[in-house]
């Protein structure tokens, strides 16, 4: 993977600030929040494939204001802010507020705790979605 474009890095900082400040307008962002999150998920996807999981399928992260679509196969990790044509998701995680995703990925919040507090709802194969959330985390899954 080549170096990250500087404008993308700055856009991701803007997205982080937007997410931390709440659900207000994103007009000051250089790009669409859904596209920015999709870009971060693409970067994390390299780690998912490297971890050698057998996880496959079509997953949706629904943040109410936008959604991120992830299609995983044994050798591919495709992320998009747009729904893949002619596919139906196998698992959907509804996450609100979007900072919940950041907290889960940073291992500050356990997905099960997010389910209990209502900030995460999983529809479909719960175990598969929990595995994906674990694989997408920034921390060592064994640690």
Q: What is the CATH number of the domain that holds 58?
A: 3.30.1050.10
pLDDT score of 42 more than 60: yes
Confirm whether 8 is domain-assigned: no
| Count: domains in the chain | 1
What length is written for the chain? 143
Q: Give mean pLDDT, residues 6-15.
A: 52
The boundaries of the domain holding residue 82 are 33-136
Bigger pLDDT: 120 vs 99: 120
pLDDT at residue 36 in the model: 74
Helix (H) or strand (E) holding 37: helix 33-50
How far is 37 from 105, CA to CA, in rounded Å? Answer: 12
Amino acid 11: pLDDT: 53
Higher pLDDT, 89 or 15: 89
Residue 107 lies in a domain: yes
Does residue 142 sit within a domain? no
Q: Which of the two residues, 16 and 55, has the higher pLDDT score?
A: 55
Q: Are 92 and 57 in contact (CB under 8 A)?
A: no
Q: How confident is the model at residue 66 (pLDDT cuts 50, 70, 90)?
A: confident
């Amino acid at each position: 993977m080549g170096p990250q474009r500087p404008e993308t890095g700055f856009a991701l900082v803007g997205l982080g600030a937007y997410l931390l400040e709440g659900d207000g307008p994103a007009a000051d962002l250089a790009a669409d929040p859904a596209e920015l999150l999709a870009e971060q998920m693409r970067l994390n996807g390299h780690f998912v494939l490297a971890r050698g999981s057998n996880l496959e399928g079509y997953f949706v992260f629904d943040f109410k204001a936008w959604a991120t679509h992830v299609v995983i196969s044994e050798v591919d990790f495709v992320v998009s802010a747009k729904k893949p044509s002619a596919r139906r998701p196998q698992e959907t995680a509804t996450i609100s507020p979007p900072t919940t995703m950041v907290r889960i990925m940073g291992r500050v919040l356990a997905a099960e705790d997010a389910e209990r507090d209502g900030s995460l709802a999983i529809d479909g194969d719960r175990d598969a979605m929990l595995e994906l959330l674990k694989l997408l985390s920034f921390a060592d899954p064994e640690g």
